[in-house]
Amino acid sequence: MKCPCTSGEDYSACCEPIIQQKKPAATAEQLMRSRYSAYALGHVDWIIESQSPDGRQFVDRNATEQWSKRAKWHKLEVVSVQDGGVDDAEGFVDFKAYYTIAGEDITHHEVASFRKEDGAWYFVDGIEVKPRPFKHLAPKIGPNDPCTCGSGKKYKKCCGKLV
């Protein structure tokens, strides 16, 4: 089976050894990918275990498990990675997780922070990246401006009545 983290590798060679704690994540990105796979496959123990020790008390196991099970996980997209390499002590992974829950397609965009403690990477926190607001680029048409359809009437007396 291909790994849910969309690395292109087989699960048994990618995230499974990390989730089963047979090998540690070498980088923050590897830990991020293993956490996504854990959500996709319902391995809640790894989601909690890979949380920083000082933050585990704030993880709601039941809510995490329900979210993991109720969602249909589609893919993980790693947008960028800052630090978080083998020799680093901290790192940041900008990612998008695509899933469907209750019939709604959702893209969760987050910048996650990771810290290495005693040689092991842990998830510390994440900041959700909100989409930019839509900006209308066309010039605004006033009610007394000529109608855009070319009728020669004022907009409010022509196509503006339809809005």
Ranking 16-20, 44-48, 94-98, 150-154 by mean pLDDT, the lowest is: 150-154
Residue 133 pLDDT: 72
Claim: this prediction has a pTM higher than 0.85 = no
> Looking at the predicted structure, is the pLDDT value of residue 162 above 70?
no
**What is the average per-residue pLDDT within 145-163?**
82
**What is the average per-residue pLDDT within 30-47?**
98
Where in the chain are the domains? Answer: 11-128, 135-163
pLDDT digits 0-9 by tens, 12-28: 999 999 999 999 999 99
Q: What share of the chain has pLDDT > 70, as a percent?
A: 97
Residue 13 pLDDT: 97
Long-range contacts of 64-72 (CB under 8 A, 24+ apart): 67/39, 67/101, 68/38, 68/39, 68/40, 68/42, 68/44, 69/42, 70/101, 70/102, 71/39, 71/99, 71/100, 71/101, 72/99, 72/100, 72/101
CATH code, 11-128: 3.10.450.50
pLDDT digits 0-9 by tens, 130-148: 877 767 677 788 888 888 8
pLDDT digits 0-9 by tens, 64-98: 999 999 999 999 999 999 999 999 999 999 999 99
